[in-house]
Amino acid sequence: MTHIPRTDVLIVGSGIMGSLVARLLRESDPALHLTMADGGTSIGGAPGRHLHDLDDPELWSRYNEKVATGIQGMYTGAEVVREVADSLPDLTPGMFHALAFGEDAEAMPQAALAWNAGGMGVHWTAATPWPAGDEVFDFGDPDAWAADLITARRLLAVTPAAIGPTKVGELVLDVLRRRYGDAGPADRAPQPMPMAVTPTPSGPMPRTAPGTIFPALAEGGDPAFTLLTGTLVTALTQGDAGRVTGARLRRVADGTESELRAGTVVVCADALRTPQLLYASRIRPEALGRCLNEHAFVTARVLLDLDRFGLDPGALPLPRPGEFSTDSLWLPCNGPGRPFHGQIMNRTYVDGAGRPLAHSVGLSLYVPVESRPQNRLVFSAHETDLAGLPRIRVEFGYSETDRALIRRALDEVRSLAEEFGPFDPDTESTVLPPGSSLHLTGTVRAGVTDDGTSVCDPDGRVWGFDNLYLAGNGVVPTAMAANVTLTGAVTAVRAARAVTART
């Protein structure tokens, strides 16, 4: 066992959450020594750069092929892969179904893990709607929540109207506004989808990714920052009661073990592997892994009836070069009357010569699911997954209330789709299998008191520990309808501020 020099803060995970924490800690102290460890390695030359923005034509076209459905669950493959690789070093970095990583995840078959530097943040679509109503967890301080949300939006470079609306996108928005526009505050009206991108006048729009949030990740040049890729954190080490002393690391390529001492540890290893690492470190509060949540995913696609809308095929919009959809639109959830979050991504189909033929309206409704302790992760004391960490069993199902809301969403999507063109709900809409949204939450949830129903305090500090923090979607305690990353980013903002206050 070798020892590497001590670091001030160890960040586990180089995804969006880890990079947000690193960025904020660096803004507050240019000399603070930060070490970031990630089990995965870089896809392409620069760790943490989004695949949408790589110069490598092969990687770029592979990415675009996967992302073209507009459904994140399909990105890892429409067919669930259950075959587990022979060994971890054999894996090409990328996204893998949890089942293919050796987890017992049949209850959530489409759940997937990032195994690469930059995590899911180099693959994501970057839709960043803001939370409202029951999604918000301000713990009684709405002003602090609002300020942290603004910080999260700034760091993710959230752009209000990024992809569209084109003229046809405006027609789609008109229909949405007629149906839903009157109810609720103006910021919950149908509108273009906010996206975490850098706006450009033409051509592709670069996505916000770990390497743009914290540029030293992709470019280096920060003498007080050490990035350890291909380095699995196998356990957090503990000293006196209530303190972690650092972590045990294993280099994936050759199995070399080492120990790293750290003043503070922030775990940002996603909603499945953050609780897994705590369990592996014998940190096992009652709420660990419980209240696993994921909104249900109802999806539909309808071809726009051009006659009904008085459109000529020649008038159909084409996407900007380098983008796959013409419009990315948002129907925000809005209280019990409209509990669903709508993500609408539209495409124009072209013939071999690039002439527009038809336009499809891609309608996805995310249905909030009740937070229940019986939906949970269970960690095995005996079996391990591909990484050699405690095997995760996923226990997940829908309550009667959830099922009723899913049926309501199916009715809603049918009547909405019929506004745009002829629609067959049996063949053109479906409820995707659990895991498909990749928006898992709740497994290391925050709470205001250490009463057994939460794992960490509102700042992400693990109950009973002085210097161990968590950040990411797993910390989110509320049932989310919208895409979760912007909301998860609030937990990173809070954890970074708390770490800054103590270092």
Ligand X SMILES: Cc1cc2nc3c(=O)[nH]c(=O)nc-3n(C[C@H](O)[C@H](O)[C@H](O)COP(=O)(O)OP(=O)(O)OC[C@H]3O[C@@H](n4cnc5c(N)ncnc54)[C@H](O)[C@@H]3O)c2cc1C
Compute the distance between CA of residue 244 and CA of residue 462 in angstroms, rounded to an integer.
11
Q: Using the rule CB under 6 A, which residue among 32, 176, 217, 484 binds ligand X?
A: 484
Q: How many residues bind ligand X (CB under 6 A)?
A: 38
Pick the closer one to ligand X by CB: 194 or 263: 194
Q: Which residues are within 8 A (CB) of 164 and not within 5 positions of it... i.e. 6 or more apart?
A: 192, 317, 325, 326, 327, 328, 329, 346
- If one asks whether residue 17 binds ligand X (CB under 6 A), the answer comes out as yes
Radius of gyration of the chain (CA): 22
- If one asks whether residue 9 binds ligand X (CB under 6 A), the answer comes out as no
Closest contact distance (angstroms) between CB of 44 and ligand X is 15
- If one asks whether residue 331 binds ligand X (CB under 6 A), the answer comes out as no
- If one asks whether residue 277 binds ligand X (CB under 6 A), the answer comes out as yes
Cα angle 363, 440, 297 (rounded to 5 degrees) comes to 20
- If one asks whether residue 121 binds ligand X (CB under 6 A), the answer comes out as yes
Specify the stretch interacting with ligand X by CB under 6 A; choose among 155-163, 267-275, 351-359, 394-402.
267-275
Q: Is 439 a catalytic residue?
A: yes
- If one asks whether residue 41 binds ligand X (CB under 6 A), the answer comes out as no
Pick the closer one to ligand X by CB: 248 or 393: 248
Q: Reduced to 3 states, what is the DSSP secondary structure of residue 11?
A: strand
- If one asks whether residue 269 binds ligand X (CB under 6 A), the answer comes out as yes
Residue in the structure block whose two tokens are 């910021």: 187
Closest contact distance (angstroms) between CB of 426 and ligand X is 27
- If one asks whether residue 233 binds ligand X (CB under 6 A), the answer comes out as yes
79 CB-contact burial (10 Å; exposed 0-12 / middle 13-18 / buried 19+): exposed
Closest contact distance (angstroms) between CB of 276 and ligand X is 7
Beta strands in 304-355 (DSSP E): 327-331, 341-350
Q: Using the rule CB under 6 A, which residue among 50, 52, 97, 123 binds ligand X?
A: 123
Q: Cα 109 vs. chain centroid, distance in angstroms? A: 17
Estimate the crossing angle of helix 16-28 against helix 485-502, to 10 degrees.
40
- If one asks whether residue 16 binds ligand X (CB under 6 A), the answer comes out as yes
Pick the closer one to ligand X by CB: 279 or 423: 279
Compute the distance between CA of residue 392 and CA of residue 119 in angstroms, rounded to an integer.
19
Q: Reduced to 3 states, what is the DSSP secondary structure of residue 156?
A: helix
Catalytic residue positions, numbered? 439
Interface ranges with ligand X (CB under 6 A):
12-18, 37-40, 72, 75, 95, 114-115, 119-121, 123-127, 232-233, 268-270, 273, 277, 438, 472-473, 483-485, 488
